[in-house]
Structure 1
């Protein structure tokens, strides 16, 4: 490490408040820097504009609660109203340019609000007339469609950044200028009217399946997370994690793994999770001796994995269930073992880092007492238990989330300290609505990509060309798919990455005989891992901002900690038992060997087992890890044999050192 790097990693106080925790100003600054979704206007409380936005957001949440629990709307009407609320909130909250961040909405913003209402609600009222015409559009439909496309693209630019809207525009241009595209990607081209009708009037463009999932499942789970946050679930998770792991070697890092993993299932955003949970865990890790860049990396990797962790995974998981036309519980079950292995590897690495550097935990008197924590806030886990029970019973995610919210409200009243007030209820409704807009508009913009792919058969063509480029080799195709997902993840939210990847990359895997669930999970995983993959690792950069460390060094440390996450998806492609596909015996044996394998991988990555490893031992540990993680009699036998050799070798070295000490 050079001197400049060292100085960067040793920066302390400027990022922390007096109590050693990152201040709210620092957290907000980092969110606005690395998380486009957090770059919205903050209005002064109780002003007319603030009350208007709050009223719209609360109405948005109440509308969806009514539909989920008591109402029933046609799909196109539900999606239209959902998108209208989303776009109105975006144009009120997100400025057209950064320098307008703190200003009030201007005349252009209000014009866009009006256009959002007109184009968004048009399909609610025109749908019946369109049906009577046999689906044949008229001039008015085309005008509204053209305006609607422009408004959605602008809303996406404001809330998500320019990358995804630009990709959407490129796909639209491809649909129009197809006759000029050379080679296998060329097509006859489509008229503007045909493109507008497909994107706006049909159910394969803006108002497609992705937006439908946002309007049903995703919104309610975001709202569920907002209610859990309002009840004080974050404090329960932090205190319980501290009580469980705080005293062990390097305990605060293990607390970060526990807390951030669980919080990640609720927040749904890796960057936001790092900024909020990391404000507490990163300074705590540094206080017991972890280097700043390592502390930031632990938080980034743990927060990123939250979207991979059942029962409430990232929004893309709900879209996956809809794309594959399978129950969401099947996604949960398939993701359970990979998520366990991911977190086990991270946990093992932070433990080994503590042993390697001689770190200790926090003294018991400074930690919460588990019995007291559970007595005061243990009842707050009831909503999560209810969600898991309902999903496993086969209830739709919509109803599971709806009843989960009711249970969360009811559970809060079991203790006076957690009881939700009317103000708290309104705050949860407002924050849930605001938290959903970025995912919702992403699903609408991605509709252009999905729509063009279905209109031009681009997905099939890309799949064929990807296979041809890889010469039909499965491993090479997997690597190309991984690279595609990671590159897309550098500029787009995870939900959009998954949808695009499922549209243009997954078909290649399906053509090579990979099961649909395995192929889609593969894309989903690497869309998430992109948050900690250099050179653009937004979750790691956010953690570096709190820790005062080098973003580049933090990014590479995060990639090293997440190494199991890069390996495991390849394994389940070749051995589906890792995603619970196969007999119970196969699944259990895969779980056992993969568990030993990821711990061995952690030893190899950290260069430490019973003691620091030499180069040969480290290479052998990598060989053993790969053999154990990949199920199979030959690979398991190889892995176990090599692991035993290294273990006995290290044991002999330790005994020799002890004997030498005694003789001395």
Structure 2
């Protein structure tokens, strides 16, 4: 690529980029355009119906999981061929005949499990010629749809796995297998739920669509602009304010966004020009937007919909997934905020001007009232709902709904007294920042659907699908009614406002469906990879392969796994990305880590592979988010990607911390005081890492000072490393005490076991496994509940049957192994004492740099 300065992309070109990446660049005019919109709206309507309790209330159109997945993929394939042109030069304003043919054939093949469900159920394992022909056509058209929606990378990965299925006998010994016939391949991949129609497509059908639709409706209703404007109002006055706006607004967008590219474009079109206006270079402006937008994919509660996939792969409740993922995501954003501040210091950036209508004291008073008022309102809502539930019992839901509607009308009545928010013009000079409350009061009602979503997920602990339904139903109501209600309070025309509200809902439904095309296709194609793994036993081969490359060294194993995750994640959406890395690489870390004596919690392993899969959106050569940011800034994409990768180093170190110190995931925390200590130490550690990589702490750092900062960072992130040199971290108890110890483990705790046995290749293996235990009870019963049958054999404890899909199976416990030891935390000085010498070193660097800065 040329290094010359580029022309920044126009808004139309940026929307074209988003369309090519997320929604499809073909928008036909006339009746064909109306037809495509109708199909997209029908898809969204079907998904809302399927997720809702209405089918069971009315007893109509009740579908099982397999039938729903078939319909879901049928819609996705049809829209993939009609909305995505085949090539760059293919027509955008009409649909060629060939695309119509492929769309109809693909939709028929994809929905075959729905239309022929009864017939297929009568002859399991005995496919007819029509079954096999449909499967072959379906897989070929799915690959073509993948090429159109996602580009070549995902197709190349899928083709590699298909080739691997048939080439097994000819592969090197370390990854050799017996292969499969064409009939077995087609049946396994298309006519069962082991391949294309497996768990990945099931999650897309049940959860992901509703969250994407929720985000699309929130954006259509004006929620995206509201989040951007409130970020500007709150942060614009700070040093490097526009860059800090990019960080916070991207975090807010990441709550509901499932795409790094759309997150970059929706926020970057405003923040990148603003950053450049304050003196930041175009490359750094684009890189900051890229780093913050990609980080939105690791931000709970949605995490690019990967949070809901993790519930399936890890076997933890959704609320636990969010609890574990929250601290790393938050401190990563805090570190990026700090990096932005350091960049502003380097260039001497001046903050944007606040309004002169208020004195400094008045601004502080308003700020205090704003924060305290917000906290009071949140507490009022939380405890108010709990009080209603306590008083009204079974009728509480109706009372809460009525109170919510009243609150909605109240916020709109108040906001209607003030002008609507206007879209920021990124090319216009900023003469004065808006007042935070002046912005906040115009969109208070946008908080309601997010409160509904979080309440259903975190407090009521409803299923993700049902939680998404109630949140989507709430934003649907807001989208339709906000315009006419505001018009009523302003005494304006109700008829036109009502028509606009209905139009917004239809557009939101259509946009939600088009945003889902690529995700639906990607999860189906990811099913081919998952199906190959189950058909060929590739998971075990990957373990052997990585062990062969790493030579048994844990750090090399983790680095190599991270590299593979980066490669697998190139050009692939978040959801499909996680499916790939979780299927292929998570079991590798679990197994090899256990053989190396590391008792790694399963959630730590899955977050490790997830983080590095997401990093592919930043890193060259296929960093899609970096390319989108470069199109806005007019800078070189590769330079933007490299700079974005430097900024993202702070996120890249966190997965290694998960593995060696799971406390950062709020695991093995003794009490609230220890939790506070871990939070503070982790936050300080990542700030010091950022300072070291930026070569700037309080002033420009010398090389040895940056090295000391990295040493302090390491001590804060992994204090156990130094304490383990002095004291054994575990008390080793004989295996025969297993049941007694298991009975005393607290609820939600981990049982660490040292096991020995022989693997399938006849090699003697010693592993350390971390078995999570649930509710308190008798030790043997708790272990059985985790999926492991333990049989006493004299002084030994033999591992019996392992239940498929259980926690014991996921952590690598295998039938036939012997429990030789149970590991308990040793009675030794707290590892957190290591913080004291680390902080002393930090104090020394602080004093030296303060003196040097004063002299300068």
SS state of the match for residue 461, structure 2? coil
Among 443, 464, 467, which residue is 1:397 paired with? 464
Q: Please list, as runs of the form range in 1=range in 2, the aligned pairs for 1:145-160 lying within 5 A after superposition.
A: 145-160=135-150
- Distance, in Å, in 2 between the alignment partners of 1:60 and 1:427 is 13
Verify: 1:574 aligned to 2:660, yes or no.
yes
- Distance, in Å, in 1 between the alignment partners of 2:627 and 2:578 is 22
Offset of residue 95 of structure 1:
1.8
Paired residue for 2:702? 614
Paired residue for 1:62? 45
Offset of residue 144 of structure 1:
1.5
Q: Please list, as runs of the form range in 1=range in 2, the aligned pairs for 1:3-152 lying within 5 A after superposition.
A: 8=5, 14-15=7-8, 23-31=10-18, 36-44=21-29, 47-69=30-52, 70-71=54-55, 72-152=62-142
Deviations 1:403-453 (A, max 9, x none): 101222344546628987000010111000000110110011111111011
Offset of residue 307 of structure 1:
0.7
Offset of residue 656 of structure 1:
4.3
Offset of residue 106 of structure 1:
1.5
Among 454, 461, 467, which residue is 2:547 paired with? 467
- Distance, in Å, in 2 between the alignment partners of 1:587 and 1:152 is 48
SS state of the match for residue 409, structure 1? helix
- Distance, in Å, in 1 between the alignment partners of 2:135 and 2:855 is 78
CA contact (8 A) 2:158 2:526 kept: yes
- Distance, in Å, in 1 between the alignment partners of 2:530 and 2:151 is 19
Paired residue for 1:369? 435
CA contact (8 A) 2:23 2:515 kept: no
Deviations 1:190-222 (A, max 9, x none): 111111110011111010000000001000000
CA contact (8 A) 1:564 1:601 kept: yes
Q: Please list, as runs of the form range in 1=range in 2, the aligned pairs for 1:490-639 lying within 5 A after superposition.
A: 490-511=570-591, 512-513=593-594, 514-583=600-669, 584-585=671-672, 586-632=674-720, 633=832, 635-639=834-838
CA contact (8 A) 1:595 1:629 kept: no
Offset of residue 580 of structure 1:
1.7
Q: Please list, as runs of the form range in 1=range in 2, the aligned pairs for 1:183-582 lying within 5 A after superposition.
A: 183-365=173-355, 366-392=432-458, 393-411=460-478, 413=481, 416=486, 421-511=501-591, 512-513=593-594, 514-582=600-668
CA contact (8 A) 2:24 2:514 kept: no
CA contact (8 A) 1:206 1:445 kept: yes
- Distance, in Å, in 2 between the alignment partners of 1:25 and 1:607 is 39
Offset of residue 605 of structure 1:
2.3
CA contact (8 A) 2:207 2:465 kept: yes
Change beyond 3 A, Cα 1:614–1:117: closer
Structure 1 unpaired stretches of 5+: 16-21, 658-664
Offset of residue 396 of structure 1:
0.8
Structure 2 unpaired stretches of 5+: 56-61, 356-431, 488-496, 595-599, 721-831
Change beyond 3 A, Cα 1:543–1:199: same
Offset of residue 356 of structure 1:
2.3
Offset of residue 465 of structure 1:
2.0
Q: What's the TM-score once normalised by structure 1's chain length?
A: 0.92
CA contact (8 A) 1:590 1:631 kept: no
CA contact (8 A) 1:236 1:378 kept: no
- Distance, in Å, in 2 between the alignment partners of 1:645 and 1:169 is 56
* Count of residues paired in the alignment: 639
Deviations 1:554-605 (A, max 9, x none): 2222112111101011001111111121224444322110111112122222
Paired residue for 2:390? none
- Distance, in Å, in 2 between the alignment partners of 1:273 and 1:336 is 20
- Distance, in Å, in 1 between the alignment partners of 2:543 and 2:169 is 20
Is the radius of gyration larger for structure 1 or structure 2?
A: 2
- Distance, in Å, in 2 between the alignment partners of 1:185 and 1:626 is 37
Offset of residue 350 of structure 1:
0.4
Paired residue for 1:662? none
- Distance, in Å, in 2 between the alignment partners of 1:135 and 1:587 is 53
Change beyond 3 A, Cα 1:402–1:242: same
CA contact (8 A) 2:41 2:506 kept: yes
